[in-house]
């Protein structure tokens, strides 16, 4: 992959307003870690037992922009096998790439991918083998893992839609361990979840050759199964890499919000098997796509309804009963714990300040402190120096 396309990344009016209007799920995510943090959060053990840290494809760190409110057509961090780009790479080597959300099939004949007549943001697991758009990349082994802090989903209630932020429970020292199903635990409560434990400070260093000295113990990224494809304009030009998030029936803990959920890959072994298109054949890989009762959530402000709103308030928990101003929960306290204990020097600022000129005038308000960090610490608190 030499790079991405020159087509504009835009959102339709419908996407900007109500992503849940057609009851299609997973139309928004948040991914707020800086590129180097995403890489550390994706460290894995190779077949020799060494912990490795995936590198970004050349130039893709500049394409990826952390955001509190990512919508379809935006670029997201995606983990995949390096063998898709280098057939001689080790079978277990992974790489990070920035790909556009909304799969454009390789056989699409128009010159402009925005002319596609149907949505490919999500792919129903039960229909993968029935639709050429998804069957082709699956047969080619083009499986990937979409990374995010979590995703937003809307629960219908009469004429209103209440958004929720949904993510992995955060527990100390378990960033890469398989999460057990806890249908009755506080972390999977159907109304809200607030009981989580603060993780330890993350390891920042990297040994020679890309080996990570220890597991990432910061925010545990959500790992969603997906398919990707590579489309080249009929008239020639730069290839466009795009993906679709695979969905399954909602788990018991989430069915009160929506009837679908992303296919979650829980733990390093499931991620490894999904990405290993050489040894793990397509039909065996599909068996990994199960509803998992492992996610937690909290309600958030309707500010997130409009994808143009890209601020920390999108993630802030709200009290649905009191209707008062949002206030921190146990979950948010956990977030604050690890964010304040380890402030990376290379965090990339989410684009919440508009143009460069506006950015300069609003420098104080738009600090490069990452998602959740700004609203948890407060606007006037500075992050601790590394």
- Quick: pLDDT tens for 77-117: 999 999 999 999 999 999 999 999 999 999 999 988 888 88
**How confident is the model at residue 321, as a pLDDT?**
83
Please check the confidence at residue 336 and state whether its pLDDT lies above 80.
no
User: In Å, how far from its chain's centre is CA 62?
Assistant: 17
**How confident is the model at residue 263, as a pLDDT?**
98
Q: Where are the alpha helices (DSSP H) in the chain?
A: 13-17, 35-41, 60-63, 132-139, 268-275, 282-286, 330-341, 356-361, 373-377
Q: Which of 15, 26, 37, 42 is catalytic?
A: 26
Of 166-170, 210-214, 374-378, the one with minimum mean pLDDT is 374-378
Residues 198/337, Cβ–Cβ less than 8 Å:
yes
Q: Is 93 a catalytic residue?
A: no
More confident residue, 177 or 368: 177
**How confident is the model at residue 26, as a pLDDT?**
66
In the chain, % of residues over pLDDT 90: 56
CB atoms within 10 A of CB 287: 9
Helix (H, G, I), strand (E, B) or coil at 38: helix
Residue whose entry in the numeric block shows the structure tokens 């990994």: 288
Please check the confidence at residue 36 and state whether its pLDDT lies above 90.
yes
Please check the confidence at residue 355 and state whether its pLDDT lies above 80.
no
Residues 138/129, Cβ–Cβ less than 8 Å:
yes
Domains of the chain: 28-171+217-315 (3.90.1680.10)
Q: Which of 37, 153, 215, 270 is catalytic?
A: 153
235 — pLDDT class (breaks 50, 70, 90):
confident
Residues 39/225, Cβ–Cβ less than 8 Å:
no
How far is Cα 349 from Cα 53, in angstroms, rounded to an integer?
22
Which of 14, 13, 15, 220 is CA-nearest to residue 101?
15
**How confident is the model at residue 28, as a pLDDT?**
94
- Quick: pLDDT tens for 255-279: 999 999 999 999 999 999 999 999 9
Give bridge partners of residue 262 from the DSSP assignment: 247
* Token pair of 200 as six digits: 């330890």
φ/ψ of residue 50, rounded to 5: -85, 140
> What contacts 294, CB < 8 A, 6 or more positions away?
168, 169, 179, 180, 181, 182, 188, 251, 264, 266
Please check the confidence at residue 242 and state whether its pLDDT lies above 70.
yes
Q: Is 153 a catalytic residue?
A: yes
**How confident is the model at residue 329, as a pLDDT?**
54
More confident residue, 83 or 170: 83
**How confident is the model at residue 17, as a pLDDT?**
34
35 — pLDDT class (breaks 50, 70, 90):
very high
What pTM value is reported for the model? 0.76
How far is Cα 151 from Cα 187, in angstroms, rounded to an integer?
16
């Amino acid at each position: 992959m030499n790079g991405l396309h020159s087509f504009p990344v835009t959102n339709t009016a419908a996407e900007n307003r109500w992503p849940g209007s057609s009851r299609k799920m997973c139309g928004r995510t948040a991914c707020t870690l800086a590129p180097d943090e995403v890489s550390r959060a994706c460290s894995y053990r190779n077949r020799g037992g060494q912990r490795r840290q995936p590198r970004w494809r050349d130039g893709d760190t500049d394409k990826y922009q952390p955001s509190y409110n990512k919508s379809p057509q935006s670029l997201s961090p995606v983990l995949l096998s390096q063998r898709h780009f280098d057939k001689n790479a080790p079978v277990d080597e992974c790489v990070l790439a920035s790909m556009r959300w909304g799969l454009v099939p390789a056989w699409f004949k128009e010159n402009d991918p925005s002319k596609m007549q149907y949505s490919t943001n999500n792919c129903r697991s039960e229909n993968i083998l029935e639709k050429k758009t998804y069957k082709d990349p699956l047969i080619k082994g083009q499986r990937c893992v979409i990374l995010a802090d979590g995703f937003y989903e809307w629960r219908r209630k009469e004429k209103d839609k209440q958004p929720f932020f949904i993510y992995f429970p955060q527990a100390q020292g378990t960033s890469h361990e398989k999460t057990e199903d806890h249908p009755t635990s506080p972390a999977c409560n159907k109304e809200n979840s607030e009981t989580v434990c603060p993780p330890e400070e993350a390891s920042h260093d990297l040994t020679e050759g890309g080996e990570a000295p220890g597991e990432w113990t910061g925010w545990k990224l959500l790992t969603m199964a997906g398919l990707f494809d590579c489309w080249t304009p009929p008239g020639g030009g730069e290839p466009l890499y795009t993906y679709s998030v695979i969905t399954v029936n909602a788990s018991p803990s989430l069915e009160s919000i929506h009837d679908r959920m992303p296919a979650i890959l829980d733990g390093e072994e499931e991620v490894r098997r999904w990405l290993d298109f050489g040894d793990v054949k397509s039909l065996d890989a599909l068996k990994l796509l199960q509803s998992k009762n492992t996610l937690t959530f909290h309600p958030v402000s309707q500010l997130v309804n409009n994808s143009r709103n890209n601020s920390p308030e999108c993630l802030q928990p709200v009290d649905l009963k009191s209707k008062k101003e949002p206030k921190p929960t146990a979950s948010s306290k956990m977030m604050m714990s690890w964010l304040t204990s380890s402030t990376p020097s290379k965090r990339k600022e989410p684009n919440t300040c508009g143009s460069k000129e506006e950015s300069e005038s609003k420098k104080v308000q738009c600090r490069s402190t990452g998602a959740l960090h700004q609203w948890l610490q407060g606007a006037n608190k500075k992050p601790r120096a590394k």
